[in-house]
């Protein structure tokens, strides 16, 4: 057939397709039985009023060949009909072109960054264009050998298949940031985990196998008192033959002496700073200046009512030798201090031989210790 100008397109046309729908006040997308190439190819009528294609203030768009989308949902019971007067036998879409259909074009092996390429957007089901500059090329991948398949890597990351980080390659700077005070541990599954920061004064406490450690307060039964006192000077006990309270006590003050907490002492009576179980240790050194049968006793008296004292523990020192002889009598007790006002102790000596002294002085010879072992 003869024609003037450009040859008309070879498009096979058929009878227009016709679809009807009814609005429900919420649906905006309606599926056509026959696809169209453009919204402008469709005649859309709502309640006998023809609609204008387009977005925004206009009426409808075509997001896919068979997807008619109204910008505003037609009201309930609205009558809608759609005519596709330019129905084609087939609409060419991305993926419909068979291999080798495009011929006669020179293959481009070195496109420039500004060149535009055609791609298929699988998520949108449509063709898109992209510039070559936005593609990751094989040259760019080669430059970073860590991304090359089956490449052999050396340095901090090694391996030709599965990659392995070299020993001592992970520095503090490479670790993820964390919370100040947290520690790194492993959970029951063997995975790294954090130990949450504890309160000031807390200590790291093991929870045993199968559980990560935690920060916790110190055990209340820790030793909170360890205090030693000694007799300041020799006591002329002679042949007193009676219980006598020792009153010349002083806390150890030699340069190497140490203590935790403190007891208080008044007229030979010791007061505890807090309730608890205490170990009390008394040792008196007796010096005999006269040859005789010498009996001396170190005794510890306890009161539970701040009034009456009872001798609860006693140690006896005995000698039957010449004068100028010394011996030490030790005694100790575990005392349950349930009330610091009522429960108190006092050291006692009892000598039955003349010429007997209790040794004292700057060198500790006669002493008493107090150690708090735990709660009552």
On whether residue 3 sits in a domain, the answer given is no
Query: How many distinct structural domains can be found in the chain?
Result: 3
| Residue 362 domain-assigned (yes or no) | yes
Does 249 lie in the same domain as 196?
no
Residues 247-288: tens digit of each pLDDT:
999 999 888 999 999 999 999 999 999 999 999 999 999 888
Same domain, 69 and 207: no
- Of 193, 216, 239, the last residue of a domain is 216
Q: What percent of the chain lies above the pLDDT cut of 90?
A: 42
- H-state helical runs in 90-230: 138-143
pLDDT range class, residue 94, cuts 50, 70, 90: very low
Residues 36 and 69 in one domain: yes
Q: How confident is the model at residue 121 (pLDDT cuts 50, 70, 90)?
A: confident
Q: Are 233 and 353 members of one domain? A: yes
Is residue 304 pLDDT above 70, yes or no? Answer: yes
The reply to whether 259 falls in a domain is yes
- 299 within 8 A of 350, measured Cβ to Cβ: yes
Tell me, yes or no, whether 366 and 270 share the same domain. Answer: yes
Whether residue 9 lies inside any domain: the answer is no
Place of tokens 């298949």: 161
Q: Are residues 230 and 182 in the same domain?
A: no
Rounded to the nearest integer, the mean pLDDT of the chain is 83
pLDDT of residue 92: 52
**CATH number, residue 238:** 2.60.120.40
Average pLDDT over residues 193-208: 83
206 and 329 share one domain? no
User: How sure is the predictor about 7, in pLDDT bands with cuts at 50, 70 and 90?
Assistant: low
Q: Tell me, yes or no, whether 289 lies in a domain.
A: yes
> Does 305 share its domain with 355?
yes
Sign for the CA dihedral angle at 106, 107, 113, 118 comes to positive
- Could you tell me if 234 and 365 lie in one domain? yes
315 with 201, same domain: the answer is no
Copy the structure tokens of residue 76.
Answer: 């309930």
> For residue 133, what is the DSSP state?
G
- Work out whether the CA dihedral 16, 22, 23, 24 comes out positive or negative: negative
Q: Which of 37, 57, 84 lies at the terminal end of a domain, its last residue?
A: 84
Given a cut of 80, whether residue 356 has pLDDT beyond it is yes
Asked whether residue 5 is assigned to any structural domain, the reply reads no
- Domain containing 305 equals 226-374
| Exposure b/e, 310-349, CB count within 10 A at least 16 = b | eeeeebebebeeeeeeebebebeeebebeeeeebbbbbbb
Contact 322, 333 (CB under 8 A): no
* pLDDT, greater one: 355 or 140: 355
Assess whether 195 and 235 both reside in one domain: no
Average the pLDDT over 54-60 and give the result. 92
Per-residue model confidence (pLDDT) at position 6: 55
CA distance linking residue 128 with residue 112, whole number of Å: 18
Is the confidence at residue 112, as pLDDT, over 70? yes
> Which DSSP letter does residue 200 get?
T
Task: Please provide residue 122's backbone torsions phi and psi, each rounded to the nearest 5 degrees.
Answer: -65, -35
- Kindly state the average pLDDT of the residues 314-337: 85
Handedness of CA 142, 144, 145, 146 (dihedral sign): negative
**Percentage, residues of the chain above pLDDT 70:** 81
pLDDT at 113 (0 to 100)? 83
Give a yes or no: residue 278 inside a domain: yes
370 contacts 270 by C-beta, under 8 angstroms: yes
In the block, tokens 């919420």 appear at 26
Question: How many Cα neighbours within 13 Å face the side chain of 192?
Answer: 6
pLDDT tens, position by position, 124-161: 878 888 888 887 666 555 555 555 555 666 666 666 66
Instruction: Decide which of 84, 107, 132 is a domain's last residue.
Output: 84
**What are the pLDDT digits (tens) for 218-246?**
766 678 999 999 999 999 987 778 999 99
Q: Which residues of 7-39 are buried (b: 16+ CB within 10 A; e: fewer)?
A: eeeeeeeeeebebebebeeeeeebebebbbbeb
Contact status, residue 69 vs residue 59, Cβ threshold 8 Å:
no
* 307 shares its domain with 353: yes
Question: Is 56 a domain residue?
Answer: yes
């Amino acid at each position: 057939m003869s024609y003037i100008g450009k040859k008309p397109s070879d498009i096979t046309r058929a009878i227009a397709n016709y679809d009807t729908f009814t609005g429900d006040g919420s649906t905006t997308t309606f599926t056509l039985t026959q696809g169209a190439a453009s919204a402008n190819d469709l005649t859309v009528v709502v309640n006998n009023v023809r609609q204008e294609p387009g977005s925004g203030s206009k009426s409808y768009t075509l997001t896919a060949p068979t997807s008619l989308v109204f910008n505003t949902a037609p009201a309930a019971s609205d009558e809608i009909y759609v005519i596709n007067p330019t129905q084609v036998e087939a609409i060419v879409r991305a993926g419909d072109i068979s291999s080798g259909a495009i011929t006669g074009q020179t293959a481009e092996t070195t496109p420039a960054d500004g060149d535009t390429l055609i791609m298929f957007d699988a998520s949108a089901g449509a063709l898109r264009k992209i510039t070559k500059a936005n593609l990751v090329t094989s040259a760019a991948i080669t430059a970073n050998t860590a991304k090359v398949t089956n490449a052999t890597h050396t340095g901090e990351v090694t391996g030709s298949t599965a990659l392995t980080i070299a020993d001592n390659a992970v520095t503090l700077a490479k670790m993820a940031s964390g919370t100040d005070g947290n520690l790194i541990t492993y959970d029951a599954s063997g995975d790294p985990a954090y130990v949450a920061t504890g309160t000031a004064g807390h200590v790291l406490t093991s929870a045993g196998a199968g559980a990560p450690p935690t920060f916790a307060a110190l055990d209340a039964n820790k030793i909170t008192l360890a205090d030693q006192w000694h007799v300041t000077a020799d006591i002329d006990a002679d042949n007193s033959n009676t219980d006598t309270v020792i009153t010349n006590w002083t806390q150890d003050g030699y340069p190497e002496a140490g203590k935790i907490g403190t007891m208080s002492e008044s007229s030979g009576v010791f007061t505890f700073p807090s309730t608890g179980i205490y170990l009390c240790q008394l040792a008196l050194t007796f010096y005999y200046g006269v040859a005789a049968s010498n009996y001396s006793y170190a005794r510890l008296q306890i009161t539970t009512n701040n009034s009456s004292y009872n001798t609860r523990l006693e140690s006896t020192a005995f000698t039957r030798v010449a004068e100028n002889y010394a011996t030490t009598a030790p005694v100790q007790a575990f005392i349950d201090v349930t009330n610091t006002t009522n429960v108190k102790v006092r050291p006692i000596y009892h000598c039955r031989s003349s010429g007997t002294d209790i040794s004292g002085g700057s060198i500790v010879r006669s002493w008493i210790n107090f150690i708090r072992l735990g709660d009552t």
